[in-house]
Copies of this chain bind each other. A is one copy, B any other.
Amino acid sequence: MRSAAAREAILAATARQFQLRGYDNLTIEGIAKEAGVGKQTIYRWWPSRGALIAECLTDGRLFPVDFDIPVSGPVLDDVETWLDRVLAVLHSPGGSGLLRSLVAAAAEDDAVGQHLSEGIGVEQSLHTRLTLAVRAGELPADAPVDQLGSAILGAIIVQALGREEADAEGLRELVRFLLRPDGQAGSSA
């Protein structure tokens, strides 16, 4: 198998076309042409368009940045740092379209769906950071860590799907509310 060069060219072309044209306008023939590769070479190694995207996703080729989360201060600060990094991508030109395309791919393809959270850094980074916070007593011991990760990512996705301008302040507010220490929220009716 000599695939090394072909594999690289195919994945690079896939990522570029995905960013450029979105998921539903992504064609195997377009990828093959850009990669300078025969269609059969793609079909030989990947069973579907989705598998191709899933591999780009786990290789971190779809987003221009990595979504590592720092462990350098209060959870809230660290999570806001991560959030700002995500929002920066969303606000860049084509950024929300990119996320929508990724969601479309995740909805239509099992392989992509199973790695969606992971690709945005929720699985490893956010989850890990929140677990640390629980252990450090920054969050209640019964905080449902993975559900909180899904909720934050989900809120971002719902917002992107709604075609609103990404409401950065709203999301920061949400995170602050979710991660608030007990008994600190503004009271009264």
Contacts and interface: CB of A to CB of B under 8 A. Distances in A.
Q: Is the interface of A mostly helix, strand, loop or mixed?
A: helix
Contact of A108 (B104, B135, B156, B159): B104
Nearest to A143: B177
Interface string A140-164: 1111101110111111111101110
A99 to B, nearest CB: 9
A142 B186 contact: yes
Nearest to A177: B144
A165 interface: no
Contacts of A89: none
B150 A159 contact: yes
A188 interface: yes
Interface stretch (A30-38, A39-47, A67-75, A110-118): A110-118
Nearest to A141: B186
A173 interface: yes
A107 interface: yes
